[in-house]
Amino acid sequence: MTETLDQLDQIGMLRILTPDHWEMIKPCFKSTQTVCSKAVVNPRRVRLDHSLLLLDGIIGRRVPSETDQTPHLVALQVPGDFIDLHAYPLKKLDHDVVAITQVTVAMIRHDDLSKLLDNNCALMRQLWSMTLVDGAIHRHWALRNGTMRALQRVANLLVELATRLEQAKPAPDGRFRLELTQPDIGSACGLSGVHVNRVLRDLREAGCCTYKNGILTILDRKQLNRIACFDPSYLYLPERSGPSGF
């Protein structure tokens, strides 16, 4: 499997790393792994000795709900995200890490990470930054669930995911394979599955986007952004060319 590791590219959140730092950490990923949809990648409350880099697919973080049975989605990760990097300093997670789609991940052992970081504080600071952007996204999820109404909430979530996914892989056709069920979307933004269905119909009838078979197709990005009141500054996107918030 190591042949794929050499081809690893600096996609999405990984672009926070400087190229030389990326070259340093890349060899530490010793193996990749493919996990099938719906599997629990890392369970909560268990001591972890490794962290995962998401290469392909979508991963979610679930917290079992205190009130009812169905767990709640508190975060979604896209390719380029350093999943459960926070397990490196914290050692245990407070949520389950589950595969939404079939995913491929690269593993890094905390031992190897320590060897690397103990001699390189600059790299550590950049990894730290990556978890801080995660934190900013978490704050935005609280904001979204706290202030927005259903239509805006769903639109906002979809635009966020589209924007983050584009950082990993450009999608000129505006199509994104999310594979989230409608109740999943509801779980992520605090709505019932039924209501998500109605909201998606409204977005479809407004000509904004369609969502079918787990595939999001954005038809009118401008209008969708407007409905979503989307301001991407909380994503701290690295500047490619031109101004950005980072």
Partner DNA sequence: CGTATGCTTGAATCACGTCAACTGATGTGG
Partner DNA sequence: CCACATCAGTTGACGTGATTCAAGCATACG
By CB under 7 A, name the binding residues for DNA. 149-151, 181-183, 186, 190-195, 197-198, 200-201, 212, 214
The answer to the question of residue 164 lying near its own copies (CB under 8 A) is: no
Nearer to DNA, 31 or 192 (CB): 192
Token reading at 230 = 């989307």
**Residues 189-208 contacting its own copies, CB under 8 A:** 189-190
Three-class DSSP category at 177: strand
Nearer to its own copies, 29 or 88 (CB): 88
For the bound state, the minimum distance from the C-beta of residue 60 to its own copies, rounded and expressed in Å, comes to 12
The answer to the question of residue 1 lying near its own copies (CB under 8 A) is: no
Q: Which stretch binds its own copies (CB under 8 A): 23-31, 101-109, 131-139, 172-180?
A: 131-139
The answer to the question of residue 28 lying near its own copies (CB under 8 A) is: no
The answer to the question of residue 124 lying near its own copies (CB under 8 A) is: yes
| Partner whose binding site includes residue 43, from its own copies, DNA, none (CB under 5 to 8 Å by kind) | none
Three-class DSSP category at 133: helix
| Partner whose binding site includes residue 233, from its own copies, DNA, none (CB under 5 to 8 Å by kind) | its own copies
Question: Please, what is the Cα angle at 165 between 225 and 80, to 5 degrees?
Answer: 145
The answer to the question of residue 92 lying near its own copies (CB under 8 A) is: yes
Nearest to 54 by CA among 11, 15, 90: 11
Side by side, the strands of the sheet bearing 96-99 are: 40-42, 96-99, 59-63, 72-77
Binding residue (CB under 8 A) for its own copies from 102, 126, 197, 210: 126
For the bound state, the minimum distance from the C-beta of residue 195 to DNA, rounded and expressed in Å, comes to 3
Angle (deg, nearest 10), helices 221-228 and 150-168: 130
Binding residue (CB under 8 A) for its own copies from 22, 104, 128, 219: 128
| Partner whose binding site includes residue 194, from its own copies, DNA, none (CB under 5 to 8 Å by kind) | DNA
For the bound state, the minimum distance from the C-beta of residue 26 to its own copies, rounded and expressed in Å, comes to 20
DSSP notation for 55-114: EES-EEEEE--SSSSS-EEEEEE-TT--TTTTHHHH-S-SSEEEESS-EEEEEEEHHHHH
Tell me the one-letter amino acid at 199: V
Which residue's entry shows tokens 């979610």?
Answer: 60
Angle (deg, nearest 10), helices 150-168 and 193-205: 80
